[in-house]
Amino acid sequence: MLFGGSKIIHFDLEKYYKRQIVLRELGREGQEKLRQSKVAVIGLGGLGSAATQYLALAGVGHLRLVDQDTVELHNLHRQVLYSLDNLKFPKVEAAAKRIEQINPDVHVEPIPENVRESNVKNILDSVDCVIDGLDNMRTRYLLNRICVDRKIPYVYASAIGIEGYLSVFDSPKTPCLKCVFPNLDDRDLLTCETRGVLGATTGIIGTMEAMETIKLLAGIGDTLKNTLLTCDFYDMYLARVEIYKNPKCPVCGEAKAEKNVEVAEQLVWLCGQNTVNVNPRVRLKISINDAYNFLNRHFEVLLKSSFVVVFKHKGAEISFFEGGRMIIKNVKSKKEALEIYDSIMKHLEANMH
C-alpha cells in the first residue's frame, strides 16, 4: 500500500508495467531482466537526472545514485528530478525521494560522495552498467579505467549548449573512452558556466542514455557500441561516427600503462562559480546528528537532513556530509577554502575528544 496525498493507493506492478510488457521487443522476460539489474548513475545533473528518471520508470531494479553536490536554483531549469522544495538538499537524497514517488518498486542506493581514486572501486562494485552524468573528463577517465578492468558497459554522454554526444563503451568488444578522446584537459573545455546549456539538450541526451541502458540490460535492439552519435540540435543534425580501438591505448590497448596512483584529491572545484568540494584527509568518525548538535551551537544552520548539515561561516555556505566531506560555496581560492575547512574540522575533532 502507498499513500498518495490522503488516498491509499494499491501499487499494482502488473498494471504499472502493462504498456511495456506488451512490447514484443521487451515482454515479460525483458521486464524481469530490468528488474534484476543494478545500475550506477554517476552524476545527477542534467544528464543523470533525466537518465535516472526514465530508468526508474522503466523498472530497473536497483539504482545506485552518486553525486557530491546539493540542489541549487540554477539547476532546476534542466535537472528534472528536483523542485524548489529540494534547494540545499543533497541531490542523491532528493532524487531518492522522487523515485520512491514515481516507482516504489525500484531500490535506490544514494551515495553523496565525490568520486575519486580511493572510492571508485567500491562505488562501481557489482553493477551491471555505468551511466555517465558527469561534467568533467578527469572523473570520466577514472570511471573508464575501472569499467575496462571489470568489463562493465559504460554509457557515455556529454552535453553543452545545444549539442550532445553519446556512445556505449564495452571493452574489450569496443574501444574505450580513452581510445576516442585520448588527452582532453578540463581546463581547455567549455562548461555550463561559460557556454550555457538548454534544459532540453540534457533532457534529450540523458533520455537517450536511458534508452541505450535499457537495451543493454534487456538484450534488445542495436546499441551505440563502436559508434559515436553526435547531435547538433541547432539544425537537428544527427550523425553516427564509427569509432575504433587504439592498439596503443594506455587503458585498453596491448601496451597498458602502469596504473598511476593519483594524488592531490582533497580539493576539487565544481562546475559553478566559487564552489569547491573538500575531501577529508582521514574520514571523520562522527554522525550527521552529532555534527549537527555541535554545528548548531556555533554556526547559523540553514538545513539539516539525514545526509547533510548546511550552515554559514565567514560569508561561506558550507554543506557538511558524514565522514567530514564538505562543499564550500562563495570562496575564491584554494587557500581560503582550506582555511575554512581546517578551522571547522579542528573544532569538530576537539569536540569528539
Would you say 213 and 55 are in contact if contact means Cβ atoms under 8 Å apart?
yes
Q: Rounded to an integer, what distance in angstroms lies between the CA atom of residue 343 and that of residue 338?
A: 8
Q: Rounded to an integer, what distance in angstroms lies between the CA atom of residue 21 and that of residue 27?
A: 4
What is the greatest pairwise CA distance in the chain?
63
If we measure between CA atoms, which residue out of 179, 162, 212, 165 comes closest to residue 51?
A: 212
Provide φ and ψ at 331, rounded to 5°.
-120, 150
DSSP 287: -
Cα distances (Å, whole numbers) of residue 256 to 149, 175, 178, 260: 11, 14, 12, 12
Q: Rounded to an integer, what distance in angstroms lies between the CA atom of residue 44 and that of residue 65?
A: 7
Which residues belong to the active site?
A: 192
Sign of the CA dihedral with 164 first, then 95, 12, and 128 last: positive
Would you say 169 and 276 are in contact if contact means Cβ atoms under 8 Å apart?
no
If we measure between CA atoms, which residue out of 70, 75, 77, 76 comes closest to residue 92?
A: 70
